[in-house]
Amino acid sequence: AAPQTAALATRAQSGVPIPGSPPPANPVGGEPTRPRQAPAAPNTPVAAQPQHVSTMPGGAAVQQAGFVAFPRERMPAHVVPSTPIPPGMSFNESLTGDAERGRAFLTQGGGGCVACHMINGNPTMMGVVGPNLTHVGSRSTIAGGIYPNDTKHLSLWIKNSRWMKPGVIMPTLGAFQRDPVTGQTIPKTGLTDQQVADIVAYLQALK
């Protein structure tokens, strides 16, 4: 036992902690001396994640999350929808739409669009039944991809979507248009071509 006691005394004098013993007191304040912690490792810089950068036709570089987004006006002809317009539909393409007038018309409930559609930033367009139109101007197609998103097709779609694509729930809105579901003709209180042109101008500005 004597050699073991001498060894423990030697360890205590050298400052080596003895297993099972309390931490030594701080000679100044009397508080136990806590073991020093290893210095924190320096911050290791995180390698930057590679980004997908592509060059568009015409030289415009576009970064996307794993895919290339083609601007609508640069889409190759073979991917543009070519669904024929149903017979009997027409729109006065000589009209010039006014985007601000179209915005005011929809905001005030014109056409009943506020009941179904949402446009972020427009306080009355809060519908959730139909598609969100916040960025409709940047879409390349409408009607589930069967028509190109241009002035002519969007105007005809607003006038009589049920004739453009059977099965949709959007009502027929154009004046004097025949609703293929109800079999009735929309009265003159329906949307005029000028009102449709204004709505289209507003929607096309939503990028």
What pTM does this model have?
A: 0.65
Q: Are 126 and 118 in contact (CB under 8 A)?
A: yes
- State the CATH architecture for 95-204: Orthogonal Bundle (1.10)
Strands 61-63 and 53-55: antiparallel
C-alpha angle 62-68-70 in degrees, rounded to nearest 5: 80
Instruction: Give CA–CA dist 62/84, Å, rounded.
Output: 32
Nearest-angstrom CA–CA distance, 171 and 112: 10
- Name the residue ranges covered by the structural domains of the chain: 95-204
Tell me the mean pLDDT per 10 residues along the chain, length 207. Answer: 55 56 55 57 51 41 48 74 91 96 95 94 92 93 93 97 95 96 96 98 95
**Type of residue found at 119:** I
Q: Angle at which helices 193-204 and 99-107 pack, to 10 degrees?
A: 100
